[in-house]
Structure 1
């Protein structure tokens, strides 16, 4: 009997945590669901990641209002995925910031991603009728840009390809805290369906070079302290490399996608099967690793139909 498609069977409400990761800095987390960051400046607030719907975004806003009444002036998206960006309208009319590449990905594949993620994550898209449409930035950057929230400087940077081609990280230098989006995860599977396996470990090393004292990751608990940060960066690198290596070996010997599936499971299951959304991510991760090992540099666009076809072919 086939497993339920993606996270379709995960309908239980998650417990929200709102953790301080630095002075005026918070991580909104929910047991492996997408995280959101909060940066409080002198006069206003920056939000990192909008959530999937206005309904979920209002949970973030409630937490923000528990610690400050300052207006929300900026909304930064670390990448283009629907579960990160489609709740943007709940925040009013802030400046919406993405990398140039992330904006291009909205144009190229944003609607397809929305359609496919809607089927993958029915719980996250409860209240989807409030979403007014795709989320577009009002400001983009190439390599880096600094935003001042009064005296507090926030650096928004593209350090390299990883989870997607257009990933951004947000660095708050006065507290040595970083918001990494899905480049770093903690006890949650990395979704690699739009990933770049060869670049990802290099980008993680770029993050580690900043020596963050805390990280708000894309999924999983807030990482407070250098030891927890190092552990999460190392485990993320291990996850990425443990997914790609066996798939690349299969490709080198002329094996099939199903062979790659079996090989990746053999290496990853003993280490990561208890991670959040592990089974959800696995077919997409194997398919992308198999493609990259065959020399396909740009991830193919995921559609709702392609999702289900792949899921059936591998999970059956």
Structure 2
């Protein structure tokens, strides 16, 4: 099935707090929710959309919002619809990411560029001329970005959806951008593609979501889907627990993986019949079948509660 053109639209921009806008993805596949966060001196853009044309659209809109203020760009992780437009911002904004994400961009970016080009003509067209971006600033541990009267906290989470996930917190507004650590209206996206990419960790992801849910932000902007409140984080946490428990129950009874997938899919689609992305259940089962209770490398840095 051909994927619809993943075009970012700016006509539906939502102001979710003073000087804080979201360009909602309007439930279009491969379009992320994009943030524009302002302070008195500078503006931070969160995500680019997939490809240069989308990024040019986002940059033009953000430049109007900035109205002469300095501009920054960050991305929540390296996947193409989130970061593969960053080249457009070169010379216009300072691009900063956490170290693990920078390593993902350099090490896995070229492979993902080719993989996404194979998803259909509309996606391939969007990726024409794309170069893997190179960040201007790479940070360790965490980064507090002062926009002038507003501090934005960039916090890596450790291995979860990818090795390089980071969340973006706006404490004065109680807003949290999660990237693909959280979605609404769909099953969690597990990029489990052995042997090419097996960095996603269901155990690590669940630990991240438990910590994030405890912070109870006022507004949660997921990677894809509708903006919500703390229930978004709790919902993803609860689903990941279900996926883990249903998978491990069957794995520990020595069932074959194909049988585990079939049974877990039946259970979870029955519980969440309205959700899209059922194909990700199989990927999640495959990932969790390889993991232990304490998965090495899944350490989590918990962000502070907003406020």
Task: Label 1:296 to 1:111 Cα distance change in 2 as closer, same or farther (>3 A).
Answer: farther
Q: Which has the higher contact order (CA 8 A, sep 6+)?
A: 1
Mapped contact 1:260–1:290 kept (Cα < 8 A): no
Q: Secondary structure at the match of 2:145?
A: strand
Which position in structure 1 is the counterpart of 2:271? Answer: 271
Q: Deviations over 1:230-278 (max 9, x none)?
A: 22112211222232222222322223231222022112212334324x1
Distance in 2 (CA, whole Å) between partners of 1:41 and 1:85 is: 23
Q: How does 1:119-198 map to 2 (within 5 A)?
A: 119-120=118-119, 123-131=122-130, 133-193=131-191, 194-198=199-203
Q: Secondary structure at the match of 2:37?
A: strand
Of 211, 216, 220 in structure 2, the residue corresponding to residue 211 of structure 1 is: 216
Structure 1 residue runs of 5 or longer lacking an equivalent are: 1-7, 224-228, 300-316
Distance in 2 (CA, whole Å) between partners of 1:72 and 1:291 is: 46
With 135-144 and 284-293 compared, the bigger mean Cα shift is at 284-293
How many equivalent residue pairs?
A: 285
Mapped contact 2:167–2:177 kept (Cα < 8 A): yes
Q: Secondary structure at the match of 1:243?
A: helix
The RMSD of aligned alpha carbons is: 2.7
Task: Label 1:26 to 1:77 Cα distance change in 2 as closer, same or farther (>3 A).
Answer: same
With 253-262 and 170-179 compared, the bigger mean Cα shift is at 253-262
Which position in structure 1 is the counterpart of 2:251? Answer: 251
Task: Label 1:31 to 1:274 Cα distance change in 2 as closer, same or farther (>3 A).
Answer: farther
Distance in 2 (CA, whole Å) between partners of 1:98 and 1:20 is: 24
Which position in structure 1 is the counterpart of 2:207? Answer: 202
Q: CA deviation at 1:15?
A: 8.4
Structure 1 residue 19 corresponds to structure 2 residue 24:
no
Q: CA deviation at 1:296?
A: 7.9
Which position in structure 2 is the counterpart of 1:282? Answer: 281
Distance in 1 (CA, whole Å) between partners of 2:280 and 2:120 is: 12
Structure 1 residue 235 corresponds to structure 2 residue 235:
yes
Q: CA deviation at 1:112?
A: 1.6
Which position in structure 2 is the counterpart of 1:31? Answer: 26
Q: Secondary structure at the match of 2:32?
A: strand
Which TM-score applies when normalising by structure 1? 0.80
Structure 2 residue runs of 5 or longer lacking an equivalent are: 192-198, 299-307
Q: Deviations over 1:168-197 (max 9, x none)?
A: 111112212111111121213321224321
Task: Label 1:295 to 1:213 Cα distance change in 2 as closer, same or farther (>3 A).
Answer: closer
With 251-260 and 76-85 compared, the bigger mean Cα shift is at 251-260
Mapped contact 1:251–1:293 kept (Cα < 8 A): no
Q: Secondary structure at the match of 1:47?
A: strand
